[in-house]
Chain A
Amino acid sequence: MDETIRTEALVKTFGRTRALDGLDLVVHTGEVHGFLGPNGAGKTTTLRVLLGLLKADGGTARLLGGAPWSQATELHRRLAYVPGDVTLWPNLSGGEVIDLLGRLRGGLDAKRRAELLERFDLDPRKKGRSYSKGNRQKVALVAALASDVELLLLDEPTSGLDPLMEDVFRQVIREERQQGRTVLLSSHILAEVEALCDRVTIIRDGRAVETGTLTELRHLTGVSIQAELTQPAAGLAQVPGVHDLQAQNGQVRFHVDPGALDAALRELTSAGVRSLVSQPPTLEELFLRHYDRARGDGRDQEVAR
């Protein structure tokens, strides 16, 4: 499969802060790739390096087959970018900004522009200073989506949108994928990533801690189990690979690694199972596991005790 973006061991430092600390990121052509991490994890820095706005201090980055830093202008003709914090020129109308950015990129589809304005319910006649945060975001989105480009780099594009508009956004991104466009979607809204993305990279402190399809990630991280037992399953806590164990009134809930599933189920059946529900982990659980572990010695042990 073709790669639209590949970074290897990317490093970017600001003074003493290491914003990117050996980041590996691969985005395949034609996929919607979720780029997950909380504020300050290095998502925006990565996008700025990919845009050639910042120069990496180490590692390599390739984008659309070129070098982001030295070939920035040529590559920019083939991509569109929506910054996380959109500021507009106070004396230009939204329509003017959309047209200007589109033309600077090399052209704009007028029909698509009109359609997007309609769907996002955006008044293009307002001046930059009078738009709300969500509407400023829509201006940048329409400008990016109305361009005929191969790659969309979106930095938390829905952080100011209402649920209705978020729904429109999801539809539009699905259409983009059908057109064969590649999308790198940085976000901390897990439901959005879960709904849209083919593959996901989770970033923490400037490093990718997890990457793959959602199914792969789920498989790697095992399942959540909830069961009603006839008697207490005393041995369950001793099974390696069982986390977050909670036992109450004959009910147990726990999370189990794929390799330990068999052993855990044996403990359950020996205690007598009345009912059993197993669920693949939600993205939120995947995500929180990485961040909870980072925070000191982990809740896992505390709860399991």
Chain B
Amino acid sequence: MTALTGTGKLVRLILRRDRVLLPIWILTFAGLMASIVASFDGLFPTAAERQSYADASAADAGFTSLYGPLHGSSLGELSVWRAGFYPVLIALIALLTVIRHTRTEEELGRRELLGATVVGRHAGLAAVLAVTLAANLVLAALVAAAMAGQNLPVAGSVAAGLQLAAAGWAFAAVGAVAAQLTSGAGAARGIAVGVLGGTWLLRVIGDVSGLSGGGLSWLSWLSPIGWAHQLRPYAGEQWWVLLLPVALTALGAAVAVALEARRDVGAGLLPDRPGPATAAPGLRSPLALAWRLHRGLLAGWMAGFAVIGVVLGGAASSVGDMVADNPNLEEIFTRMGGRSGIIDAYLVSVMGILALMAAGYAIQATLRLRAEETSGRAEPVLATAVGRLQWAASHLVFSVLGSALALLAAGFTVGLTYGATTPDLGHQLSRVLQGALVQVPAVWVLAAVAVALVGLAPRFAAVAWGALGLCVVLGLVGAALQLDQWVMDLSPFTHVPKVPGAAVAATPLVLLLAVAVALGGAGLAGLRRRGIPAA
């Protein structure tokens, strides 16, 4: 038996387990890339319009930090540039996939079960890398086909696909290494996401510095995210750049294999620190337990939201500058869905995106309930003098208040960074915070959908992510696809007042709250009535 015996069988196992997840994210990103081309084509039909938009954007620090460098003004270049954050998301998916099928499996003891069969030491790692790398190539092929299908140059379309795959490959390897380091999957995810954040920051600093011919532009070349942009789809493709992520992937895989050969199954390379022998006096309620379980996740989301808020808030004034320099763009921007004031329109769309992300946190926090139940950790707690509703409430505090806090944190940093560029910081800050607050009821509706599923149809609790996916699709591409209003109305975010800019209308907010309360109440009633764990 060699170290790779059984890899093929494990590949099939992973494909079986991820048979829904894999196609969903691959098709989603291929679809999003295709829709960006369509929406740019609709917004800027002539070369002259594209040129003036590109001129203004390329020199802008806010856009450059968000999307990366813009090399030209062709439809292909603009579309790929606008999708400049996608490599980061693909990288995130890749590293999470690898860790989920390696360290998580090990932590849960399933790796041991397989390891005792005719399966080689490195077969698990090899299998998940094979699946992840192949999935990224499938994504690249679909993106290339979708782009080329819209009459864009073939070479550039291939590069646009490979740009995403390159990020996925590099961070699949990062995930593989991180999975070897710690014995807990959570800590491994933390390390890998930290590396992703760090390299993204290197790319931002390098690219922004490059705008002014600064001396730090070489930093982008240290970042796998930077490499993706340096491939320059539709802008004179630099194919050799692909060697960098391929080399990193090979190196990462080799390091992971070497580390895996050197450690025991279940153990990490970094030692586990011992915990306290007795519990702190405060650890005496379900809420205190929930705080221990949620605090890391909440802190991570709040920090992430605050940082994104700084970037997006910084870009707000850039939007204003751009329009001041290019009066002929104004009409285009009002066409993009804003009401009055281009900056307000931008802030509304920023808050909409942040709200979708906050809903992601709210769902994640709510599904902890279900995870506690299926893992068997709810049982000993519910066998004490803790009622079901008390137990559920202790977790839901985090999905309800945590999502609102994260949204406010982002609203605060957006308002602060944008307000600092205006003469009236206090006024702008309160307007932006209002814009964040009005999103909260819609976020709660999605949290309530998750509660209802957990309470009434626990086996389908993960469908809550599907509801969020629907809202994302409707919010990002619904307008461009000119869907019927009743379809758009399915998303709670459609009903949120466009603040700042429009007046705060109470009726939709009250209705959204009522829907959230009704769904959440139904879910809790179901949770009280059903068996735990649910059959």
Contact = CB atoms under 8 A, between A and B. Distances in A.
Interface of A: 14-15, 48, 51, 53-55, 72-74, 76-77, 79-81, 83, 85-101, 103-106, 124-127, 129-130, 140, 143, 153
B149 interface: no
A93 B532 CA distance: 25
A85 B108 CA distance: 13
A91 B295 CA distance: 12
Contacts of B382: 51, 53, 72
A96 to B, nearest CB: 4
B529 interface: yes
B184 to A, nearest CB: 5
Nearest to A17: B535
Given A99-B284, A100-B279, 4 more contacts: A83-B383, A91-B293, A96-B275, A103-B279
A111 B286 CA distance: 24
11 contacts: A48-B379, A48-B531, A73-B387, A76-B386, A87-B376, A91-B296, A93-B277, A104-B286, A106-B385, A126-B274, A140-B380
Contacts of A96: 275-276, 278-280, 283
A76 B383 contact: yes
Contacts of B375: 87
B365 to A, nearest CB: 16
B285 interface: yes
Interface in B259-278: 272-278
Nearest to A147: B384
A74 B107 CA distance: 35
B359 to A, nearest CB: 26
Interface of B: 107, 183-184, 186, 272-280, 283-286, 288-289, 292-293, 296, 375-377, 379-387, 529-533, 535
Contact of B284 (A79, A104, A129, A140): A104
Contacts of B276: 93, 95-96, 125
Contact of B531 (A55, A86, A125): A55
Contact of B380 (A83, A103, A124): A83
B376 A73 contact: no
B379 A53 contact: yes
A62 to B, nearest CB: 17
A124 B385 contact: no
Given A73-B387, A95-B275, A126-B274, A100 B284 contact: yes
B272 A81 contact: no
Contacts of B273: 127
Contacts of A126: 272, 274-275
A106 to B, nearest CB: 6
B184 A91 contact: yes
B283 A99 contact: yes
